[in-house]
Amino acid sequence: MFDKLEAVVRRFDTLTERLADPSLYDRPQELRETNTERTNIEPIVIKFKEYKKLVQDIEGNKDIIHNEKDEEMRDMAKEELGELEAKLPPLEQELKLLLLPKDPNDERNVLLEIRAGAGGDEASIFVADVWRMYRNYFGTKGWRSDVVSISEGDRGLKEIIVNVSGDKVYSKMKYESGVHRVQRVPDTEAQGRIHTSTITVAVMPEADEVGDVVIDMNEVRIDVYRSGGSGGQSVNTTDSAVRLTHAPTGIVIAMQDERSQLKNKEKAFKILKAKIYDLRIQEAHAIEASMRKGLVGTGDRSERIRTYNYPQGRISDHRINYTVYNLPAFMNGDIEEVIDALIAHNQAILLQGDEG
């Protein structure tokens, strides 16, 4: 571990020297990459300096204990030594975590898609509930959420797609992808029976405009048609709605929220790029997860990941057998505890692999 840490410090010093070169500012792309890399490894360097200072202080106190003739000074050194040595293991653990390989997508913004599954109106109502939950959570993180597309049902929402932007959005939200199951008595249930409904959540890192996904336009079928509202009436008298069909993946994106065909097409292509990029990530993650048993994150979208049981006030995350009994607060956006538990679980799995 310490060889890795010393190498990181050397790299940090090299990047710092490079940033001091005035000519670098004539090369914006290289400047941005250099600055980003330095920023990413700076926490490791700071923590390693803290660790080395602690080790130095421990050795200094040991030296006093062995060589100092003043008994009072030795007693003070012994007391301080115990406090310092207690700080060493957690600091070593922090360094190990900082050295773990980073998910290159963690810094990205995301497209969040919430869609009703089984359960009819109750599933649509739960989509609206979960969207409100996430929206409140985003507020606590200082993230911005912009609705890209929304499809309303008779009650609740059939589907909503949201662009979420802010600091390291994907690093937290990637654990939310999968099937969310709700167990509760619907408002429409006269007999008071508990119903089970499901919705699906997909969290897709936003693809860069250049580089991440290059779409061959010969592989995309573009259909335009008139926007339709509930009941079949025409919302727009022009062919502003757009449907994209990507032949290699079979992905179909329909967009009719805007009155402009151009804006609908831009939104549709943004979603298509994110979905294609997300497919690649899922494939890579499936390979990694098969090698590291117990790893969770951006896996199978059909996997049931969480149950919200209203009668018991319980939320259960099935991937890590984690249960909390604070459902009202959770549905109000207080979801950080479960997300942190998922992150800690993944870190533990990665640490085991690294140490093995």
| Burial of residue 342 (number of CB atoms within 10 Å: 0-12, 13-18, 19+) | buried
For residues 164-182, average pLDDT: 93
pLDDT of residue 218: 86
Tokens coding 226: 């008139």
DSSP 190: T
Q: What is the pTM of this model?
A: 0.74
pLDDT of residue 230: 47
pLDDT over threshold 80, residue 169: yes
Please, are residues 133 and 330 in contact by the beta-carbon 8 Å criterion?
yes
Task: Using alpha carbons, select from 69, 204, 182 the residue that is nearest to residue 119.
Answer: 182
For residues 289-295, average pLDDT: 61
Tokens coding 306: 């969480």
What confidence tens digit (pLDDT) does each residue in 39-74 have? 888 999 999 999 999 999 999 999 999 888 888 988
Alpha helices by DSSP H, the chain: 2-19, 28-67, 71-99, 121-141, 169-173, 261-291, 327-331, 336-355
pLDDT over threshold 80, residue 211: no
For residues 225-238, average pLDDT: 56
The chain-wide mean pLDDT, for the chain, equals: 86
Which residues sit opposite 183 in a β-bridge?
196, 309
292 pLDDT band, cuts 50/70/90, is low
Tokens coding 39: 């920023």
What confidence tens digit (pLDDT) does each residue in 72-124 have? 988 999 999 999 999 999 998 889 888 887 877 888 899 999 999 988 889 99
- All structural domains of the chain: 2-99 (1.20.58), 110-351 (3.30.70.1660)
User: For the chain, how big is the Rg over CA atoms in Å?
Assistant: 26
Can you spell out the DSSP letters for 267-309? HHHHHHHHHHHHHHHHHHHHHHHHHSTT--SS--TTSEEEEEE
For residues 292-317, average pLDDT: 79
pLDDT over threshold 50, residue 233: no
pLDDT over threshold 90, residue 287: no
